[in-house]
Amino acid sequence: MELLHFIFRLGVVFAIFGFIWGLINIGIKLLTIGRQRQTAEIYILKAVQYLLLVDVTFLICYDNVIPSLNYQSQLVFGAIVLAMYFIGKLQNRQNKQMIFKMYTNGMVQTDFGFNLKAEIGVILLALVAFSLFCYEPNWAFNPLSNWFKNSILDIESTPIFGFIFKVIGFFFLVNILMKVINSVMMLLTGQAFQKRNENDESSRNDENRFDDYEEIQ
């Protein structure tokens, strides 16, 4: 029960952080209006966003928001939830790009500033930062991360906005539980291994296949 409460609290924190960052992002767009963002600029801002979220998450764990769940457990589960959150964001961007290509039949060539290697790199950087904070907690304390944490806690404590973000946190908890259940079911039924075997067979078939213009020695 304590673990569910902890995941729920992180869902609320993530939702409020996303709201605050969204306002900051709007301000940045207004300052750079009329200029299209480059991919490098997009991922520099995303790296800052993810590092701040990781920092705030660590501070929440450090404050021991769930006293009945020990500090080490909060760090472990915090890292797992962060990884699932980042991977979910990555998959959502991939799906949006695929859906756009389906509707346009590939006629419009655009990546919306999406780069898979850069996306994975930013996620790994954020998770490494969280690990470093676990060994050196003092690195997590700075004016910006403290401001974000205090602002998040203040918004959470307000009657109306707090309730709205708690509803979002509940759905975040449900989403995490569904992902865990689906992963366990795939392992129990062998679907994960079956898909891997199918991919291996298809890759072998591709290697053995040749086209009409291939010279056979």
Residue 217 in domain: no
**Short-list 50, 46, 42, 34, CA closest to 113:** 42
**Cα atoms found within 13 Å of the Cα of residue 152, Cβ hemisphere only:** 27
Domain extent, residue 134, equals 2-202
11-32: per-residue pLDDT in tens? 999 999 999 999 998 888 888 7
Three-state secondary structure of 32-45: CCCCCCCHHHHHHH
Residue 149 in domain: yes
Residue 213 in domain: no
Residue 207 in domain: no
Residue 210 in domain: no
Residue 168 in domain: yes
- Residue 217 is predicted with a pLDDT of 33
pLDDT of 66 above 50: yes
Residue 214 in domain: no
Q: What is the pTM of this model?
A: 0.80
Q: What percent of the chain has pLDDT over 70?
A: 80
Please state, as a whole number, how many other Cβ atoms lie within 10 Å of the Cβ of residue 178: 10
Domain count within the chain: 1
Residue 181 in domain: yes
SS3 13: helix
